[in-house]
A and B are shown apart, each in its own frame.
Chain A
Amino acid sequence: MVAEVASSASVARTRFAVAQPARTVLAASAMSVTKETVARVANLARIALTEEELERLAPELDNIIGWVEQLGEVDTANVEPTTAVIPNTLRLREDVVTDGDCRDDVLANAPQAEHGFFAVPKVIE
């Protein structure tokens, strides 16, 4: 048990090193969230925004990110990331079929279903 804690702590530091570049990128862009950035993120999230919404959201998101970025001022080099607020580990399930066979439930909310399939607007590469 002791060895385990030690190994997870060393891995946690590695994780931090890996995660660092992503944070840096975010911090850099946080200095100014442009309209283009908002449009790109909205597109990735499939959210349609009007020109006015883009105008309004850019400074709003900029403020939020700037606010969260204050956390970056804390030195966390030797702090293990919090993965859960109570000490807990991931539970694993046994390899037993216990679910499925509920096609009607699965398809119940589909805007369109045919022959047991979801039917969606044609998507072809």
Chain B
Amino acid sequence: MSSYRIQGATGEWEVVIGLEVHAQVTSKAKLFSGASTAFGAEPNTQVSLVDAAMPGMLPVPNRECIRQAVRTGMALNAVINKWSRFDRKNYFYADLPQGYQISQLYHPLVGEGVIEVSLDEKDPEAEIKQIGVERIHVEQDAGKLMHDQHPTRSYVDLNRSGVALMEIVSRPDMRSPAEAGAYLTKLRSILRYVGSCDGNMDQGSMRADVNVSVRKPGEELGTRTETKNVNSVRFVMAAIEHEAMRQVDVLESGSKIVQETRLFDPDKGETRSMRSKEEAHDYRYFPDPDLLPLVLDDAFLDECRATLPELPDAKRRRYETDLGLPAYNAAVLTAEAETARWFEALLAESARIQKKGEAEVAKAASNWLISELFGALNRLGKDIEHSPVSPEQGAELLGLVADGTISGSIAKQVLEIMLETGDAPGKIVEDKGLKQTSDTGAIEAEIAKVLEANQDKVAEYRGGKDKLFGFFVGQTMKAMQGKANPQVVNELLKKALG
């Protein structure tokens, strides 16, 4: 196991990382009001009088937001607190009309859990690390400020104000940028499987506060800094790398680390201090008197548990043991819920068409999906959710290869046409006359022509240059426009070259 160390002038330094991830809960309405959460609406059109903090408004929690946070906790094998409570976190800022954020400090909805990350991409079981999750609490998002629209004013849009967030707080268990990246990627994957957050980091549905400190290996924890609102896995890793190096430089020059909030600048790839005079934060938390304690009954928890899907780790292991897939294939196919869903539809349909068990068709289906379809989608700049080819069409194509109707190389051509036209593979093969032929007469006629045209090479081959066999196969296949059954071609060629 390789460990990540920073080489300083005074020796090696270890990096200690904890992440606080804010994940927007997937819901139609906000956490405490009936206003919509849809992204991209006109400013202040999705704001209720509760979200605008008008006097006398009473917050009422959205059952779905609580349910999704509980399901998320269950997916992380976390303790679910049947009794939790909301607190007010008091501070003043222009994006927070209430003057406080409703959050959960003393009694979060979800307690300790764990996320398992694989640190070796090729073999997911080779290096596994458990990252502790300290808690998940539910809280309100703030509004959005725009500073560049007016010379002396900031514009405030409260559409996001009051949208439900889960704050998922890790233990300081990570020791390298790669581990933090793997943790965030895995967390995102789980959230998307559970359906509690769309994980869309571009739209701010998921953002991380990154806590970093450095120490000499084995020593006490150092003073940490918190880099706020980092919005991609890549940026989180870059922010950690830069911040750790900066701290090593500060410490080795004899100064001390100031516990402070910092910002990551993606353009420069560095972090910088967020406030010149860091006022000691005093949020004066207290239980929100507008909200009674949240008490969950067993029926509620049972429903949450019953509706959990098979999660990525379990699915990956099942693909390996039950379907006999290579570890790499299983990991790739289960990383995203959408890919797994696509693969399972492809698998079921392939088994049906080929009248075989899923395990028998799994390997060919997974290879085709990973190398052929992913490759094609990459070129088109599309993800699998927007694939022009459906799993049913994919299964039909695989069926045509399996029963010998077309060869693997023709299948590639057919896929290209499918992506373009959306036509069914069977129809394409029929229309374009791509059916593979095992007609020995036709193949033999072409072989005769190929050998006639390449007499010099025939002589060389017979003189012992075996490698030329591939050349003859290629020429014959070309002459047959790729439609000859390769096995038949091989046999006939061997006979002809004798």
Contact = CB atoms under 8 A, between A and B. Distances in A.
A18 B28 CA distance: 35
B174 interface: no
A71 interface: no
Contacts, number: 154
Contacts of A18: 106-107
Interface residues of chain B: helix, strand, loop or mixed (majority): loop
Contacts of B50: 99
Interface stretch (A50-58, A60-68, A117-125): A117-125
A95 B29 contact: yes
A84 B152 CA distance: 46
B48 A102 contact: yes
Contacts of B4: none
Nearest to B63: A92
B292 interface: yes
B36 A97 contact: yes
Contacts of A99: 29, 33-35, 48-50
Contacts of B292: 83-84, 88-90
A18 to B, nearest CB: 5
A92 B47 contact: no
Interface residues of B, number: 58
A102 B51 CA distance: 12
Contacts of B61: 90, 92-93
Contact of A95 (B45, B65, B94, B150): B65
A100 B162 CA distance: 12
A89 B295 contact: yes
A120 B153 contact: yes
A47 to B, nearest CB: 11
B157 interface: yes
B43 interface: yes
Interface in A60-107: 83-84, 88-103, 105-107
Given A4-B295, A93-B61, A99-B50, 5 more contacts: A4-B297, A101-B45, A106-B47, A119-B150, A120-B155
- 8 nearest A-B pairs in the assembled complex, by CB-CB distance: A98-B34, A95-B64, A100-B35, A99-B34, A117-B155, A99-B48, A118-B156, A92-B63
